[in-house]
Amino acid sequence: MDISRYLEQKREEVDRFLETIIPTVETAPTTLHESMRYSLFAGGKRIRPILAIAAAEAVGAPSRAILPVASSLELIHTYSLIHDDLPAMDNDDYRRGKLTNHKVYGEAMAILAGDALLTLAFELCSRRDLLNGLDALRQVQIIHELAQGAGNLGMVGGQVLDIQAENKEINLSTLQAIHAHKTGMLIRAAVRMGAIVSAATAAQLEHLTLYAEDAGLAFQIADDVLNVIGTREELGKNANTDAQRGKKTYPTFYGVEGARTLAAQCTDRAISRLQTFDAKADPLRELARYITARRN
């Protein structure tokens, strides 16, 4: 299969869908909606939604509910980037080659745009008009997965650990805990949400969860490597910022080559979790490979 084509096609589907559920810039409060749109349509690769779609496809032909469910993950991801970039947090001026949200709209609006995107994710997942292909019990389960992946024991918890680790001597197990929460839990939620849309069996959900954990780790290690070796043009933001901030990453512990090897091992392990799945899981397999091979 052609993974680039698959990624491009799904990204467009997600973008088109997101366009239909975010209020226009003419809708009051106009600046809030402009600010939400600014970051949501800033060129994200939609990895989390695509993982959800691919997981749903691996189990069976997904219902139409997959697009809103998948897109809710991008709302969460976008809010987390806006808040992470704030002066009180990572204090970043650029993201994906564009000024960060608070540099354009100010801190107050950036905080509120993040809050609104986070809330909108749950509003979207709780719509019956868009998710009527799902039974309500599965819909509740999906919402719960999203909340757990994003919350205090998930992504937000990981961001707290990350902030607390800056300029400190941390060991490898702390680094693993940071990543498992900060990026891992939402990727895990993405795959599980997709699987639940397609009514995965308990065994399928179990295998896909293990896939997600390995793929999530590969994704984060690859991200750390890119931060070291990527150029400003490729990344759309300043390169090698982790080291400048005294932030410990996988390359700190393993070197760039060691980290690359580790990422490749995680990718192989992720793919091996899909043994019981047929060709419908090929997009998931290719996604795991893409995650470590990408240049931005």
Nearer Cβ to its own copies, position 125 or 284?
Answer: 125
Report d(CA 293, CA 265) in Å as an integer: 13
Type and span of the H or E element at 99: strand 98-99
Question: Which residue shows structure tokens 């900060």?
Answer: 182
Nearer Cβ to its own copies, position 79 or 254?
Answer: 79
Smallest distance from its own copies to CB 48, Å: 16
Smallest distance from its own copies to CB 143, Å: 4
Backbone torsion region of residue 9, taken as left when φ is above 0, otherwise alpha when ψ lies between -120 and 50, otherwise beta: alpha
Q: How far apart are the first and last CA of the chain?
A: 21
The tokens for 53 are 């779609």
* Complete DSSP assignment for 175-206: HHHHHIIIIIHHHHHHHHHHHHHTT--HHHHH
Positive or negative: CA dihedral 12, 13, 16, 17: negative
Smallest distance from its own copies to CB 142, Å: 8
Q: In 3D, which of 156, 140, 19 has the Cα closest to residue 69?
A: 140
- On whether the CB atoms of residues 195 and 63 are closer than 8 A, the answer is no
Nearer Cβ to its own copies, position 104 or 226?
Answer: 104
Q: In 3D, which of 205, 235, 218, 236 has the Cα closest to residue 287?
A: 218
Nearer Cβ to its own copies, position 189 or 288?
Answer: 189
Smallest distance from its own copies to CB 257, Å: 32
Nearer Cβ to its own copies, position 174 or 272?
Answer: 174
Question: Which residue shows structure tokens 């799945």?
Answer: 277
Report d(CA 191, CA 182) in Å as an integer: 16
Report d(CA 290, CA 87) in Å as an integer: 32
Nearer Cβ to its own copies, position 32 or 55?
Answer: 32
Report d(CA 216, CA 178) in Å as an integer: 12
Smallest distance from its own copies to CB 163, Å: 6
In the DSSP assignment, the letter for residue 76 is H
Nearer Cβ to its own copies, position 88 or 256?
Answer: 88
Nearer Cβ to its own copies, position 157 or 216?
Answer: 157
Smallest distance from its own copies to CB 245, Å: 14
Smallest distance from its own copies to CB 121, Å: 8
The tokens for 72 are 């809710």
Smallest distance from its own copies to CB 290, Å: 29
Task: Indicate the residue type of 134.
Answer: L
Residues that bind its own copies (CB under 8 A): 23, 28-29, 31-33, 36, 79, 83, 86, 88-89, 106-109, 111-112, 114-116, 118-120, 122-123, 125-128, 135-137, 139-141, 143-144, 146-148, 150-153, 156-157, 159-161, 163-164
